[in-house]
Amino acid sequence: MPTIHPTAVVHDRAELADDVVVGPFCIVGEHVKIGSGTELRSHVVVEGHTTIGERNQIYQFTSIGQEPQDKKYKGEESYVQIGNENIIRESVTIQIGTEGGGLWTKIGDRNLFMTCSHVGHDSIIGDGCILANCVPLAGHVILEDFVILGGLSAVHQFVRIGSHSMAAAGSMVTMDVPPYCYAHGNHARLRGINSIGLTRRGFDQAQVREVRRCYQMVFRKGMRFEDAVARARAHFGDTPPDAVVPFLAFLEGESQRGVSPAGREG
């Protein structure tokens, strides 16, 4: 049986694995499903059609599955899906999707959401991401795997941020950030490759050099963005190095916000 503190309110039809822990003053709604080993520390509210996976740690005053902060939302049935082994710290908010965004807010595995971070409706987050303190994601944001967003940075709606990229503290990210890149500023500009992060993730020096070479080709001054991407694709041919494949695919993908411009590296 789950361990439920006497002060917690858990709906009879909520589905909790046998070893779930629900701490003091938590509220768990009717349509909630929580997997094995997950713990709600205290004062956590989980409502709506929310599914939470295994071995997640959810800290006090977090709110998951509430209605989105979107005036277009009309009460349609929509969902939150959270994977495994996430750490969700104090006062984090994660909201359900909307009909206009596909009805789902989705979070993968092993992410860290620091205090007061916010995941807006219809956002999709991969694995291994870190949102530092007070980082809000507006609706419809996509974070690929291993993205790091520094404290007090913010992400505009419909922005995509590619895998292994980083935005510095205080950045206002209003346009897409390709994989492997480092961005900062208000509004954020690309400042080169996140080489330290790539090395920490196990990329060897040859891979980092190939990624940097592709970056420099695409963001070369004096070229139209589309022409530069086509030039890089032609240079690497049909079989580019493995590390370059997601970079080019991201740049060639559909974007609603456009790709962030490059600024001075550093």
Q: Residue 262 has which token pair?
A: 């490059």
Collapsing DSSP to helix, strand or coil, 230 comes out as helix
pLDDT > 70 in the chain, percent: 99
Quick: pLDDT tens for 155-190: 999 999 999 999 999 999 999 999 999 999 999 999
Q: In angstroms, how far is the first alpha carbon of the chain from the final one?
A: 54
Statement: residue 264 has pLDDT above 80: no
Question: Do 96 and 77 contact (CB within 8 A), yes or no?
Answer: no
Chain CA centroid to CA 118, Å: 10
Q: What is the pTM of this model?
A: 0.94
Tell me the mean pLDDT in the region 212-228.
89
Chain CA centroid to CA 35, Å: 21
Q: Give me the catalytic one of 139, 150, 192, 197.
A: 139
Q: Residue 221 has which token pair?
A: 């001054």
Q: How many CB atoms lie within 10 A of CB 66?
A: 17
- pLDDT reported for residue 221: 76
How many Å apart are CA 130 and CA 147, to the nearest integer?
6
- pLDDT reported for residue 177: 98
Q: Residue 240 has which token pair?
A: 């580019």
Q: Catalytic: 139?
A: yes
DSSP per position, 5-68: -TT-EE-TT-EE-TT-EE-TT-EE-TT-EE-TT-EE-SS-EE-SEEEE-SS-EE-TT-EEEEPP
Q: Which domains does the chain have, with CATH numbers?
A: 3-140 (2.160.10.10), 199-252 (1.20.1180)
Tell me the mean pLDDT in the region 130-141.
98
Label the pairing between strands 27-28 and 154-155. unpaired
Q: How many CB atoms lie within 10 A of CB 252?
A: 13
Q: Residue 73 has which token pair?
A: 């939302």
Q: Give me the catalytic one of 43, 49, 118, 121.
A: 121
Question: Do 75 and 50 contact (CB within 8 A), yes or no?
Answer: no
How many Å apart are CA 51 and CA 33, to the nearest integer?
5
- pLDDT reported for residue 229: 92
Question: Do 261 and 190 contact (CB within 8 A), yes or no?
Answer: yes
**Biggest CA pair distance of the chain:** 66
Q: Which residues contact 239 (CB under 8 A, 6 or more apart)?
A: none
Chain CA centroid to CA 52, Å: 16
Quick: pLDDT tens for 94-113: 999 999 999 999 999 999 99
Q: Give me the catalytic one of 109, 122, 127, 176.
A: 122
**What's the whole-number average pLDDT of the chain?**
95
Q: Catalytic: 122?
A: yes
- pLDDT reported for residue 236: 86
Q: If pLDDT is split at 50, 70 and 90, which confidence band does 265 have?
A: low
Collapsing DSSP to helix, strand or coil, 130 comes out as strand
